[in-house]
Amino acid sequence: MENVLIIGTGCAGWTAAIYTGRANLKPVVVTGSMPGGLLTTTSIVENFPGFPEGIDGTDLMMNLQKQAERFGAEIRYGTVDQVDFTQRPFKVWIDGDLIESQSVIIATGSGHRHLGIESEKQLDKKGVTYCAVCDGALPMFRNQPLVVVGGGDSACEEAMYLTRFATTVYLVHRRDSLRASKIMAERTLANPKIKPVWDSAVEEILGVDQNKVTGVKLKNLKTDLLTTIDCAGVFVAIGHVPNTEPFKGAIDLEESGYIKLFGGGKTSVEGVFAAGDVADSVYRQAITAAGSGCAAALDCERFLAALE
Ligand code: NAP
């Protein structure tokens, strides 16, 4: 039986592993389907304190992993498919294999929100994508017009990144101003390759008959006017949804789907803690995820000490 099982390997999970590792608790860390989490899909992280020139997202996560392993964290590759938190030891199934643990820290982060239209599903990976850094350089997107959907920091970052490859990047947003931070919004709108398309929603992604994206049909939300833009790719960057699927029914969730916290990293089940984006609908930054990973680890250490 394990002392601490940490689920997730983003900033929150690795930080929790560093702290519980240094406390000699020999944490076991489950990677999930995307080791390193969403930060590995970003390019340069400019706002993580301590890196004046910024740091590559994947490098940052590799550093955190090495640091956690140095203090005895053990890695399990796999994805949690089921949990039983009704009594201790808690039961967690990873790709069908059972692990029992005295405590659990959930740090499963969040995934990309989808537009929710049929053509998006049909053209997924055929020109519809959720990650410019992962897919932007593919030959199908080079020297082509591309569409980014969204108005937050992610959409701006995706649009800026894609200007390396695209002829034009159309930034389609449902309002007439960006939600992104001022610095990102200004940089984005100043880029001559990026053309904002305001007050517009994607009605349909075109090209299902050709098995590849050929354009988007947009609706102007103020005038109801329908227009079409030709493009070879649609990069959806409209926010995130927490990865809580295996925990539904096992712990309390907010109405929005995020894990409900009861002070620090405590969840509704004593001995189960949560940290990072899976329990944070407000800040969702790498550094706040790391900070909450630390808090959950300290709460967890105190819980285990009290058991003894
Ligand atoms: P976000 O800030 O929640 O923005 C999501 C955007 O998508 C909003 O503009 C929203 O429109 C739009 N949207 C949401 N649902 C939609 C739908 N169904 N159809 C069309 N548009 C939709 O998400 P994010 O950009 O992923 O950022 C998440 C967090 O990470 C933020 O705190 C952000 O600051 C941070 N982040 C930081 C960096 C950086 O600092 N380099 C990079 C990426 C992300 P409305 O504006 O109308 O709500």
**What's the confidence (pLDDT) of residue 188?**
98
Q: Can you name the residues that pair with 172 across neighbouring β-strands?
A: 149, 197
Same domain, 14 and 102: yes
CA of 108 to the centre of ligand 1 (A): 19
The answer, yes or no, to whether residue 18 has pLDDT greater than 90, is: yes
Percentage of residues of the chain with pLDDT beyond 90: 92
Same domain, 232 and 283: no
In this structure, which residue's CA is closest to atom 46 in ligand 1? 179
Any atom of ligand 1 within 6 Å of the Cβ of 41: no
Quick one: average pLDDT of 78-94?
A: 97
Same domain, 201 and 214: yes
- Read off the pLDDT band of 286 (50, 70, 90): very high
Domain tally for the chain?
Answer: 2
Q: Is the CA virtual torsion 84, 248, 268, 7 positive or negative?
A: positive
Query: What three-state secondary structure class fits 217?
Result: strand
The answer, yes or no, to whether residue 308 has pLDDT greater than 90, is: no
Any atom of ligand 1 within 6 Å of the Cβ of 120: no
Query: How far apart, in whole angstroms, are the C-alpha atoms of residue 47 and residue 275?
Result: 19
**What's the confidence (pLDDT) of residue 134?**
81
Same domain, 220 and 71: no
Q: For tokens 């006017």, what's the residue?
A: 225
pTM of the model: 0.83
**What's the confidence (pLDDT) of residue 42?**
75
Same domain, 119 and 136: yes
**What's the confidence (pLDDT) of residue 45?**
87
The CATH number of the domain holding residue 281 is 3.50.50.60
The answer, yes or no, to whether residue 41 has pLDDT greater than 90, is: no
Beta carbons of 277 and 284 less than 8 angstroms apart: yes
CA of 253 to the centre of ligand 1 (A): 22
Which is the catalytic residue, given 135, 153, 277, 299?
135
The answer, yes or no, to whether residue 298 has pLDDT greater than 80, is: yes
Name every residue whose Cβ is closer than 8 Å to that of residue 124 and which is 6 or more positions away in sequence.
none
CA of 206 to the centre of ligand 1 (A): 24
**What's the confidence (pLDDT) of residue 284?**
87
**What's the confidence (pLDDT) of residue 38?**
87
Task: Give pLDDT tens digits for 123-157.
Answer: 998 999 999 988 899 999 999 999 999 999 999 99
Domain that residue 253 falls in: 2-111+240-307
Measured between alpha carbons, how far is residue 81 from residues 32, 36, 178 in Å? 10, 19, 37
Task: Give pLDDT tens digits for 150-206.
Answer: 999 999 999 999 999 999 999 999 999 999 999 999 999 999 999 999 999 999 999
Query: How far apart, in whole angstroms, are the C-alpha atoms of residue 93 and residue 76?
Result: 12
Beta carbons of 154 and 239 less than 8 angstroms apart: yes
Q: Based on the residue annotation, tell me whether 131 is a catalytic residue of this protein.
A: yes
Same domain, 118 and 231: yes
Any atom of ligand 1 within 6 Å of the Cβ of 112: no
Buried b (16+ CB within 10 A) or exposed e, 111-131: bbeebeeebbeebeebbbbbb
Query: How far apart, in whole angstroms, are the C-alpha atoms of residue 181 and residue 152?
Result: 8
**What's the confidence (pLDDT) of residue 59?**
96
Percentage of residues of the chain with pLDDT beyond 70: 100
Query: Which atom of ligand 1 approaches the CA of 175 most closely?
Result: 47
- Please confirm whether the linkage preceding 89 is cis (ω < 30° from 0): yes
Kindly write down the DSSP assignment for every residue of 49-68, as one continuous string.
TT-TT-EEHHHHHHHHHHHH
